[in-house]
A and B are shown apart, each in its own frame.
Chain A
Amino acid sequence: MTTPSQTVGPFFGFALPYAADWELVPEGHPGAVTITGRVFDGAGEPVPDALLELWTGEGGDRGALGRGGSGVSGFGRCGTAPDGSYRFRLAPPARPYAALLVFARGLLKPVWTRVYLADTPDPLLDSLDPVRRATLLAQAEGQGVYRFDVRLQGEQETVFLEF
C-alpha cells in the first residue's frame, strides 16, 4: 500500500536546499564537468520554482549532504533560479548518463529523466526517434560545460521515464 505522492509546492526553498548542494565535487576538482540548463513549462516560460536532483549511480567519498573537503559525491540538488536555470558540478559519471529528477509546484509527482553526456549506443537512446532522442542529449559547450534543458510539456517535451 504505497504512500501517494504530492507536489513539492512553492515553499521548499527555506528547507531543502543546503550548502554546496549542487557541487558534487568541489571547485577545481580535476576533470570536473558542469551540467547546466533551464526548466521550461508548456508555454515556454521558465520554471523558477523547480527543484532538481542528480544521481550518478556512484556513491563516492564526499558527503551527499555535509559537503566539506575534497572527494566526489554522486548526489546533488539544485533549486532553479528566477530564469529557470540550474547547475551541477560533478565528476564525469561512470555511465554515459546521470539520472535527473525534477520536482515543482504543479508536478503532483516528480519526473525522472536522464542527462546523456555523449551520443552513444544505448538501449534507451536507441529506442527513441531522433527528435525524442535529442531531448536526452546534453550539448557540449566547451570547457567541460554541458547544456541540458528540461521541457516539461509541449512539442519538444523531454523524454520522461517510468521504472
Chain B
Amino acid sequence: MTHPPYLHPDYASTVLRAPSRPPLQMKEDPEAAELTGPVFGRGEVDPLDADLTAGHAGEPLGERIIVTGRVLDASGWPIPDTLVELWQANAAGRYAHQRDQHPAPLDPNFTGAGRCLTDGEGRYRFVTIKPGAYPWRNHPNAWRPAHIHFSIFGTAFTQRLVTQMYFPGDPLFAFDPIFRSIPDPAARERLVATFDLDITEPEWALGYRWDVVLGRTPMEDA
C-alpha cells in the first residue's frame, strides 16, 4: 500500500480527523468531474516564484540547494505544464507562519513559498535553502525531519497530491510518525530526495533530485 491510512494514532491529530468509514468506491463514470482538473497558464506563474532565495533585500541564511525532478503519471509519462507548489521552514526550522511558535529565528530574507509549472518534459526546478528540523507537540521530544511540502495537480482531480519531500539519511526518520505512517518502508523511500552531483552547481549550491509519480486515474485502468 502506497498511501498512509487515514487513522494513524501515533500521529495524534488523525484521531479526531480520520473518517471512520472507508471511502465509497466510485463506479466508473467517464463524465465524472474528477477525471479532469484545472489548467494553469504560463501567464499565471511568475518564473521568479521558483527561486525562494530571491525577492528579498538580501540572501537568506542557510545551505543553498537546487531541488529538481520530474512529475510523471503512473505509466511513467511526464506531465507537462502542471502546477507544482512548495513551502517550507527556514534554515533554523521556523515557518513564516503566525501560528508557528518554535523559538527559532525568522529570517527576514526568506519566506519559504514558491511555485512553478513543469516544462514540456514534466520537469520542475526550485532554488531554495535546506530547511531545518523543528520540534512539534505530538509526543514528548518530538521533532520533524527536515522536509519540503509539495502540492502537485496533475491532469485530473483524482491525481491531486500533497506530500512532503525529505533529505537522505535523516536520523529523525526512525522517530517521525508522519513519515512512518506510510506502511511500506519502500514507499517511504520514494519521499526521500537523492543527492546529485550533476545537479550540484560548483561554488554555488547542492543539488537534489526528486521525481513524483501521480496515481492512476480510473479511466486509465481499462
Contact = CB atoms under 8 A, between A and B. Distances in A.
Contacts of B111: 14
B16 interface: yes
Nearest to A101: B160
A7 B87 CA distance: 13
A154 B17 CA distance: 9
B128 to A, nearest CB: 12
A123 B182 CA distance: 33
A125 to B, nearest CB: 11
A162 B157 CA distance: 11
Contact of A162 (B25, B29, B32, B179): B25
Interface residues of A, number: 63
A93 B87 CA distance: 32
Interface string B155-169: 001101111100000
Interface stretch (B59-67, B92-100, B118-126, B195-203): B92-100
B158 A163 contact: yes
Given A2-B74, A53-B160, A152-B17, A15 B5 contact: no
Contact of B162 (A55, A66, A110): A110
Contacts of B212: 3
B39 A59 contact: yes
Main SS at interface, chain B: loop
Interface stretch (A28-36, A39-47, A139-147): A39-47
Interface in B137-196: 149, 151, 157-158, 160-164, 178-179, 181-182, 187-188, 190-191
B87 A106 contact: no
A22 interface: no
Interface band, chain B: 35 or more
Nearest to B97: A11
Given A6-B4, A163-B32, A63 B41 contact: yes
Contacts of A43: 16
B167 to A, nearest CB: 14
A147 B211 CA distance: 40
A132 to B, nearest CB: 9
B25 A153 contact: no
A108 interface: yes
A130 interface: no
Q: Which of A5, A95, A161 has the most CB of B within 10 A?
A: A5
